[in-house]
Amino acid sequence: MMSHIPIIDVRARKVIDSRGNFTVEATVDLEYSTGVCAAPSGASTGATEMQAFAKGGPDESIKFFEKNVKNKIIGFNALDQNSLDTLLRELDGSEYLSNIGGNMATAISIANAKAVAQALDIPLYKYVGGMFSRSLPRPMGNVIGGGRHSKNGTTIQEFLVSTQGKTFLESAYINTRVHKRIGELLSDKLKGVSVGLGDEKAWTASISDMEAVDIIKEATKEISAEHKVKILLGTDFAATEFFKDGKYHYREGIKSRDEQIDFAAHFSKDLGFYFIEDPIEDTDFEGFAEVTKKVGKNSVIVGDDLYTTNPERLKKGIELGSTSGILIKVNQIGTLSSTVETVKMATEAGISRTVSHRSGETTDDFIAHLSVAFGAEFIKTGTIGGERLAKLNELIRIEEDFF
């Protein structure tokens, strides 16, 4: 068994993401293998997540890397992912990785893991998850959207579907059927209202949240009957984005904290939504706990902005019973090792994991592998669009290993 594989070289570059913005990519060379990783970027970012880039943007992150990080990493043992990730944090020296940027750290951290997996001749999911990574997630995809991801869309950021098909391929495909049907329903019903696609390729139209609920229900009912398969409904309120002066500001009106808690529970109990993400603003751990208690086992209440994949925040959430689920995004916390720490804590506490894309994505498919490695219940990565399908199609390939 190899115990030392030195990093021969590490390089960073700017590449372009799905929104047409710059992001960063890293290449890690080992003697006989190479790992490349491009980091995604969020729009509705959590207040406690790592700074995506150094102040001044991707160029400054790359400059910091060239000057302070590159030479310290060359020669380092690639097999010691934990120490490499700790070193990245130390070299950065700030709480929110604001010198190197969470995206640069993520790209280096994941590129290293990919290079090692290739050197060991095993897929990334097996390297990260070990020999017990034997379960596939279900695809969860955004079909109607608004919030920060489009102009004039719903107040609620995402309306999601997750087909519970026999295979990953079937589930991912039927999600696209729902997406297509919703496009048709929107143009049939809303003559004169312009319909477009948001950042994650979900439909966006100037409709109310309740109109979106009606349309998603109609479409899933039809497609579910047609294909004889169960389709779960989901939503990401991204509630912090419309929380101001102690109240929740919907386009149709304002809700108090108590009304918002009831509204979230209503999505579970009366509207039949299974997956409910960030229904409460991200400082109110107690409000989350009230929702989680009200819905019981009927739905999974998921913390994204609440936790920002941060083990300390998750610890607090577990103590207070804030949620029954967590969203996992590596660049919120900046390294693979910290992500694994959070995932382990969640798994031990019986918290459901959903590995997620960001609204500004690249064609990198590493989250497909992580979703398997982490035993995730879902992978949230859209339904259509090349940068989303890169992940879904990789899971279709991974599924072949499981037969």
Nearer to Zn ion, 25 or 304 (CB): 304
Amino acid at 106: T
Output the residue with the shortest Cβ distance to Zn ion.
304
Residues 6+ apart with CB under 8 A from 397: none
**CA 360, CA 39: separation in Å to the nearest integer?**
9
* Helix ranges, 209-256 (H): 209-227
Considering only residues 265 to 324 of the shown chain, the ones binding Zn ion according to CB under 5 A are: 304
Closer Cβ to ligand PGA, 42 or 311, answer by number = 42
**DSSP bridge pairs for 233:** 161, 273
Q: Which of residues 207-236 bind ligand PGA (CB under 6 A)?
A: 236
52 and 103 in contact (C-beta within 8 Å)?
Answer: yes
Q: Which of 304, 377 has the CB closer to Zn ion? A: 304
At closest approach, how far in Å is the CB of 42 from ligand PGA? 3
**Strand 9-16, strand 22-29: pairing:** antiparallel
Is residue 49 a contact residue for Zn ion (CB under 5 A)? Answer: no
**Backbone phi, psi, residue 79, to 5°:** -70, -20
The helix (H) or strand (E) run that includes residue 37 is strand 34-38
Q: Answer yes or no whether residue 43 interacts with ligand PGA by CB under 6 A.
A: yes
Nearer to Zn ion, 276 or 368 (CB): 276
Query: Does residue number 23 form part of the binding site for ligand PGA (CB under 6 A)?
Result: no
- Interior CA angle at 16 toward 13 and 22, to 5°? 75
Least distance from C-beta 238 to Zn ion, angstroms? Answer: 5
Select the span of 3-11, 90-98, 183-191, 352-360 touching ligand PGA (CB under 6 A).
Answer: 352-360
Cβ proximity to Zn ion, 64 vs 273, nearer residue: 273
Q: HSE-up of 130 (CA within 13 Å, CB side)?
A: 4
* Beta carbon of residue 279, minimum distance to ligand PGA (angstroms, whole number): 12
Calpha distance 352→324 (Å, rounded): 6
Nearest to 72 by CA among 63, 84, 62: 84
The reply on whether position 51 binds ligand PGA by CB under 6 A is no
How far apart are CB 359 and ligand PGA at their closest, in Å?
3
Q: Which of 106, 109, 356, 371 binds ligand PGA (CB under 6 A)?
A: 356
130: alpha, beta or left, given left = phi > 0 and alpha = psi -120 to 50?
left
Nearer CB in complex with Zn ion: 25/236:
236
State the number of CA atoms in the 13 A half-sphere of 312 facing the CB.
3
Find the catalytic residue in 200, 241, 277, 361: 200
Q: What's the min distance (Å) between Cβ of 47 and Zn ion?
A: 13
241 is catalytic: no
- One-letter amino acid for residue 153 of the chain: G
Q: Which of residues 312-331 bind ligand PGA (CB under 6 A)?
A: none
Regarding 359 and contact with ligand PGA (CB under 6 A), the answer is yes
Q: Among 114, 329, 380, 391, which one carries the catalytic annotation?
A: 329
Cβ-based nearer residue to ligand PGA, 223 or 370? 370
CB 393 within 8 A of CB 139: no
User: Is 329 considered catalytic here?
Assistant: yes
Q: Count, in order, helices (H) and strands (E) of the chain.
A: 14, 16
- Residue of 59, 3, 31, 7 lying closest to 119 (CA atoms): 31
Map the footprint of Zn ion across residues 113-152, applying CB under 5 A: none
Dist CA 279 CA 302 (whole Å): 8
Closest contact distance (angstroms) between CB of 265 and Zn ion is 19
Site for ligand PGA (CB under 6 A): which residue of 85, 284, 304, 364? 304
Q: How many amino acids of this chain bind ligand PGA (CB under 6 A)?
A: 10
Residues at the contact surface with ligand PGA, assessed by CB under 6 A:
42-45, 236, 238, 304, 356, 358-359
Give the residues lining the site for Zn ion (CB under 5 A).
Answer: 236, 304
Residues annotated as part of the active site? 200, 329
